[in-house]
């Protein structure tokens, strides 16, 4: 038998802990699904109201032979659009507010109010202004995301160390150089965490928008399923949403690993 040294023991232990965590995670899903299925089959819960894993799988396979992917595509497209547009606008506004102290002071109360406002209240107005359909949904998503993006990104910018700004000024740096050489690189971590928050909010905005106006998409399927009491459809769409949102979050985490490690 091989005698392990301390380091090897430690590493082995760590690896074992990691595996246990992953196994537990999988176990939770498996147990949950199994109990749900069992409860539905034995009549403990009414599968008409609560659906069941097998019924969800069945409806997803049925739908995938029809237009499921179209619905997924519609929602995903809206969400990505809302995410990209709100991130871009939010970033630019944050830069403007960082650039001008006066502008930041003047606009401060408006940012606070816009942040507190429940954007869903603007739904009817949005429909009247930009029309129904994709544009309304993306607008809703952008409205929900953009203020939070501005606040989070700006907070990162303002956390820049004063002494470092001072150093750059002593080198004769312009404001633009201070932005590009110092403020942006020093706040990448904040920026990525703002992106993560934004992903979640973009989904909220998109689904909310689809509840308001839509002819397609997962949010539409949920509303439609609810209206005709097809709760299997509602559950199936919700499960798909979970998977999509999780996937997008994972993608951003991957970007974070690449960017922040540098």
Size of the site for another protein (CB under 8 A): 18
| Residue with Cβ nearer another protein (169 or 257) | 169
**Whole-angstrom Cα distance, residue 56 to residue 219?**
16
Task: Answer yes or no whether residue 101 interacts with another protein by CB under 8 A.
Answer: no
Task: Answer yes or no whether residue 245 interacts with another protein by CB under 8 A.
Answer: no
Q: Which stretch binds another protein (CB under 8 A): 48-56, 64-72, 172-180, 247-255?
A: 172-180
Task: Answer yes or no whether residue 188 interacts with another protein by CB under 8 A.
Answer: yes
Task: Answer yes or no whether residue 258 interacts with another protein by CB under 8 A.
Answer: no
Task: Answer yes or no whether residue 163 interacts with another protein by CB under 8 A.
Answer: yes
Q: How far is the CB of 254 from another protein (least distance, A)?
A: 19
Task: Answer yes or no whether residue 262 interacts with another protein by CB under 8 A.
Answer: yes
Q: How far is the CB of 170 from another protein (least distance, A)?
A: 4
Task: Answer yes or no whether residue 186 interacts with another protein by CB under 8 A.
Answer: yes
Task: Answer yes or no whether residue 66 interacts with another protein by CB under 8 A.
Answer: no
**Contacts to another protein by CB under 8 A:** 161, 163-164, 166-173, 177, 181-182, 185-186, 188, 262
């Amino acid at each position: 038998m091989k005698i392990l040294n301390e380091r090897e023991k430690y590493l082995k232990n760590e690896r074992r802990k990691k595996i246990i965590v992953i196994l537990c995670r999988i176990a939770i899903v498996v147990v949950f699904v199994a109990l749900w299925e069992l409860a539905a089959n034995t009549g403990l819960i009414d599968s008409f109201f609560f659906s069941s894993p097998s019924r969800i799988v069945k409806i997803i396979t049925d739908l995938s032979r029809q237009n499921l992917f179209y619905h997924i595509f519609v929602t995903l497209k809206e969400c990505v659009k809302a995410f990209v547009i709100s991130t871009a606008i939010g970033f630019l506004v944050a830069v403007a507010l960082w650039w001008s102290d006066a502008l930041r002071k003047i606009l401060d109360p408006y940012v606070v109010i816009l942040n507190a406002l429940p954007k869903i209240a603007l739904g009817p107005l949005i429909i009247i202004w930009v029309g129904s359909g994709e544009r309304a949904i993306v607008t809703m998503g952008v409205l929900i995301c953009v203020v939070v993006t501005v606040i989070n990104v700006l907070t990162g910018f303002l956390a820049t160390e004063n002494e470092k700004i001072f150093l750059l000024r002593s080198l004769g740096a312009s404001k633009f150089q201070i932005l590009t050489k110092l403020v942006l690189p020093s706040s990448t971590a904040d920026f990525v965490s703002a992106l993560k928050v934004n992903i979640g909010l973009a989904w909220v905005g998109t689904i909310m928008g689809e509840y308001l106006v839509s002819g397609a998409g997962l949010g539409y399927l949920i509303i439609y399923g609810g209206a005709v009491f097809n709760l299997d459809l509602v559950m199936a769409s919700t499960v798909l949403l979970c998977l999509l949102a999780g996937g997008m979050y994972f993608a951003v985490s991957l970007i974070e690993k690449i960017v922040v490690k540098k």
